[in-house]
Amino acid sequence: MMDWAGPSLERSVFNDLRLQGQFCDAVIEAEGVAFQIHRVVLCECSHYFL
């Protein structure tokens, strides 16, 4: 798994794409707030989503 704790170019690029709504392929909702996400990033951050 990737280390997402520190700043990185990859994280910045993925966040920019997410904020632009590009390549988002799933939605996570928590406490009534919906977040557009990239499944590949989510899977890389947690084995729970594999």
pTM over 0.75: no
Q: Is residue 5 pLDDT above 70, yes or no?
A: no
* d(C-alpha 9, C-alpha 25), whole Å: 21
In the chain, the amino acid numbered 33 is V
Q: What is the pLDDT of residues 29-41, one digit of tens each?
A: 999 999 888 888 8
Which pairs from 41-50 meet CB under 8 Å and 24+ separation?
Answer: 41/14, 44/1, 44/2, 44/4, 45/1, 45/2, 45/4, 47/1
